[in-house]
Every structure is written in structure tokens, then in C-alpha cells.
Structure 1
């Protein structure tokens, strides 16, 4: 009789247990919908579409930032695919996968998870953003995958939680990309832009140990690392917090803390090298928050580096090529370093202090 009761209890637990953040019940599959360039097969078609949707001023700005040669070079240099994938809880999320065009016999490439900025539809990945960071980085020898996050585009189901279950969307995409034959899943990196820094560090904190051991380094640009400090720097951000963060009104301190990597540097994996890039005149995320985070990383991360660009704002548009090259150099520098904590010497400490773009 006791044996039957135990059996029934076990079955009930299996049936009614919730799907955890790293459940394998969701199929690891990226469902491609076509090329990123399919809506605009030529440069003129792209500019015309922007003019039709956003007016002549926006079209002029885009044509000024991205000329036809840059567009054509991207088309010729990479395979860019847009599609959807299932996050751990089954939510369908839009994503982009970009890889350099190469022969089938080439060896698998390192993978980079690109975590975008903004929230909901604001800051959603477009061709302009692909041309800014994702395609130039892929051309340097990476498979780059970028999630829109849940609720981040018309093709993404769910609601953006600004550091909630959208972090699972990052981790789920990582496992899908790691399974691709073109990818070396033992050579993993992440790049977070603005809000994407929050998702990057939360993903590093929450990933299983067997996944974390495969990450070499991360980079963040204009990174949001302290939501409490952000509320002081830009009080209007609290509107975003209240609108998107679950239980914010009743658990404000807890919800802000769990999203602020600067407040828990000791919870980050020591072996994953951290590069911060920030504009000195950043009007959206205080450069001081990056400097404070850098100091707090000293005792917790084996290798970290802060590069501040004088005279640049949040997006550092005036030094975009230098930014991409700096990120690539950081990733390549840590490509062959040991992954697990057990492989690192106990006295290893390669910490680089804050520098400016003139150093």
C-alpha cells in the first residue's frame, strides 16, 4: 500500500511540476523565416522603405550613417537569417542569426549572444542595428545570434519583464546556437548594449555550471549595471520599472537588486572576462556607474577592463569601428584561456584599471 502511495505522489509531481528555467522539454530549434535582407533586396529599396514608413528626415539620417557600399558589403559578407525559437517556457521569440560566408569545410566558429538595448519595441533590432554591431562582428569570425526578447517585436510572444523571464530567452537561444554545426559551443561570448548588459550579467549569474564553463568573455556598451543608481540619474526610468518589472510596487528593493550586477559582483563567474565600454558624455547611463562597477569587479573577476571614450555619448557612434575592433580583440584575447574555475591558478589576477580612449 505504501509503495502505491509513493508511486502516485511521484507521478503527480511529474505531471504538475512547473517547467523550470532550463527544462529540456522545449525543442532546441531555430525556425528560419528567411534572409534579413529579403524585404529590401537592394540599398535603394531599403532607403525607400524607410522614407515611406518614417519620412524623408529619417531616410536621410540612415543614408548618411550607412552608405550603399556598406550595405552591399554586408550582403556579400554574411548569411543573415531572421526567424523564431522557443524559450524554455514555450514562448515564441524572434531572433537573428548571422554568420560569415565560408566554405563548408571551415572549422566551427565561436558564438556570440548579442543582447539588445531598449525595452519592448523601443530599441528592437533592425537592419541598421545589424549593420552597427552584429554584422561587423560576425565578419571577424563569429556566429552572432540576437534575441528580440519576449514582447520585443510583433513576432515575439509574451511580455517584456525587463530582466525577468527575458533572461531565459537569452539562455535558451544560447543553447540553440550552441547545437548548430557551424558553432564551437566551447567558445562562447556575450555582447550587451545598454539594457542588454543587465540581461548579460543576469544570464551569467543564472546559467547552469556546465554552461557557464563554456563562456570565455563578455563585453557591454553603455551598460545598465545598477538600476538603483539609474533611477537617481534618470528618474523617468521608474516609469519603465513600474510598467514592466513584475511585482515592482510590492517588492521594489528586491526587484531592483536582482537586476543590478554592480550590487552582486561576487555572484559572477570569476573566469569570464568582462569588458566595459562607455561614452564619457553618456546621457542615458551614467559613466560613473561603469567606474563603480569596475572597482567592485577587482576582487571578484580574474580579468576586466573599462574603456571610456572621451566626448562620446550613449551609442558612441563616432568611434563605432574602434568599438567593434576593441570587442573583437577582447574576445580573441580570451579565446584560448581556461574555462573552469578549477583550471585557473588560485593567485591569478589580471585586472586592468579604467582607461580612456586616449590611453
Structure 2
């Protein structure tokens, strides 16, 4: 009898813990002036013309619960009153390489936030599996936004860059809460990635993915959207953006993936630009495209 009691108790504690997934633990405003980013976006202590829009935004550092972990992230909110659609931003990189920070969130999402969007992004858990269990850290943000006063938790989009593209494709596969998404220079085929960039296998994938060499075929397929385009949420939509001079994500693989989506009549668009992985010479075009897409497919969607 006592053993049955403890089994029930443990199951109750387990369920309560996971019922808290996404719970906002802390939220602190970031004073941009006191950060190193200020020197880049300002001159003579005044925002440069390209960054004057930052005056309309508030930036916050957050922590939230994901599974049994506390994970860090960033939120950007328009200062304008009201409730705004949400865009979850998925960073690139892995572990401590290219973390989500103030500079990244400003570069990729501040122009979008100015147009009336709440942006939220995760830095993923410390044990990064490159598309494994830390996917929960992304999906649980759909619960976190319910605690953000200015966020419309029923109107969520997603924007992933580079490795963040993998997280976005996986999210569209595992969740029905993402109304539309954008992937910029994302990887669709990890088998092709390790052919093009062998060091990505030895220095990243083999180190991040549990039991990598024993389960290589299975684990790479799990993370490669080119093998399961039919599993993407059919009620969502997708914009794929690709730089023709990108040396990090294979464009041929992206084109093949787009062809598969076309065959499935998936609701998507594919656009190419003559630029590099970071869209270095196409930032204004990128901002315009991102804003236009989310305005049409998220904010003003029927």
C-alpha cells in the first residue's frame, strides 16, 4: 500500500513539474546604454540614424522553465501599449558559439519589433543536442508568452537563422501553434553538411548529439527536414530565404527541399539573394522581406 502511495506521489510531482513548462521565472529590463552594444549603435551618446527605432523598444533578459531546467532568453517589446503578435526567434550557432545576445536580437529582429511585434528567443539549455531535447526550450516559449502582458499568445510566428532553421523546421513538425515561419540560410540536410564541412561533424555534431557514432543515420535524419517535408504542420506557412554565396548552408539542399514542398503543395515561398550567410550586403532587403511576410501571414492573416 505504501509503495502505491509513493508511486502516485511521484507521478503527481512529475506532472506538476512539467505542467510548469514555459513558466516565466525572471524578467529584467536591459539598459542598452550600459552595454557594449551601445558603442556600436550610437555616436556621441546618441543613437545613429539606422538605430533610432530602438527608442521605441524595451529589451528584457528572461529565465523560464523548460522540462526540469531553467533556461535563459531575451524578449523585445514595443513600448507602444496594446497586445501584439509574437515571433519566436531561433538563434544559430551551438553551445557558447554565436549565443543569443542583445546584438543578435537587434540585428535580426529589432526592425520587426518596431512594427508591433513581441520577439522572444531562447539561448537553449547548456547541454545542447543540436536539435535534440533543447527543442523543448523553443516549444515551451509558446507557454512563456502567456505571461507576457503585451504578447498575443494566440498569434505566434517563428523566425530561425542558420542552425535556428533546423529548430524552426522541427518546431513546424512537432507543434501546431506556429501560424507561419521564416527560415534564413537554414540547414535542411545534415548529411550534406558534414560532406561540405567535415569539422562540423567532429567538432559539433559528434560532441552534441548523444551516442552520435552509434546512431548517426537515425539522428541525422531526425534533424534533416529534407527527409520529412510531409510532416510539417499543414496549417502553417513558410518563407525560405537563401544566400547564393552562403558557404555554411548548402543551397542545393535547400532547393531540393523547396522542390519537395512544391510537390506536396505546401504553402511556402522560396527566395534567393546574391549574398553571404549573414546577408551582409542585403540587410535592408532582409528587414523588408521579414516585416512584409509577418504582416501578411501573421498580423493581418484572415
TM-score higher than 0.5: yes
Match of 1:260 in 2: 224
Superposition CA RMSD, Å: 2.7
Q: Does 1:245 align with 2:200?
A: no
SS at match of 2:104: helix
Question: For 1:237-271, what per-residue CA distance to the aligned partner results, in whole angstroms no more than 9, with x for missing partners?
Answer: 10211011112121001110111111101111112
> Which of structure 1's runs of 4+ aligned residues deviate more than 4 A?
8-11, 16-20
Change (3 A) 1:41 1:227: closer
Q: Does 1:86 align with 2:49?
A: no
- Normalised by the size of structure 2, how large is the TM-score? 0.89
Match of 2:192 in 1: 229
Change (3 A) 1:129 1:301: farther
1:307-318 alignment, distance < 5 Å: 307-310=271-274, 312-318=275-281
Match of 2:167 in 1: 199
Match of 1:40 in 2: 35
Match of 2:19 in 1: 24
**Unaligned 5+ residue runs, structure 1?**
48-61, 152-158, 339-359
User: 1:70, 1:94 → 2: CA distance?
Assistant: 31
1:208-219 alignment, distance < 5 Å: 212=176, 214-219=177-182
User: 2:37, 2:269 → 1: CA distance?
Assistant: 40
Shift of 1:17: 8.4
- Normalised by the size of structure 1, how large is the TM-score? 0.76
Question: Which gives a bigger RCO, structure 1 or 2 (Cα 8 Å, sep 6+)?
Answer: 2
User: 2:135, 2:113 → 1: CA distance?
Assistant: 23
Shift of 1:19: 5.1
Question: For 1:212-246, what per-residue CA distance to the aligned partner results, in whole angstroms no more than 9, with x for missing partners?
Answer: 1x422100111111111111121221021101111
Change (3 A) 1:19 1:200: farther
SS at match of 1:318: coil
- In the comparison of the two structures, how many residue pairs are matched? 297
Match of 1:183 in 2: 151
User: 2:265, 2:12 → 1: CA distance?
Assistant: 36
Question: For 1:251-307, what per-residue CA distance to the aligned partner results, in whole angstroms no more than 9, with x for missing partners?
Answer: 001110111111101111112111111100101111111111101112435311111
Match of 2:100 in 1: 125
**Unaligned 5+ residue runs, structure 2?**
none
User: 2:292, 2:157 → 1: CA distance?
Assistant: 12
- Deviates most, 110-119 or 169-178: 169-178
Q: Does 1:15 align with 2:10?
A: yes
- Deviates most, 111-120 or 122-131: 122-131
The question of whether the paired residues in 2 share the 8 Å contact of 1:186 and 1:215 is answered with no
The question of whether the paired residues in 1 share the 8 Å contact of 2:178 and 2:236 is answered with yes
SS at match of 1:188: strand
Question: For 1:78-112, what per-residue CA distance to the aligned partner results, in whole angstroms no more than 9, with x for missing partners?
Answer: 0111121111x221111110011113xx3x11100
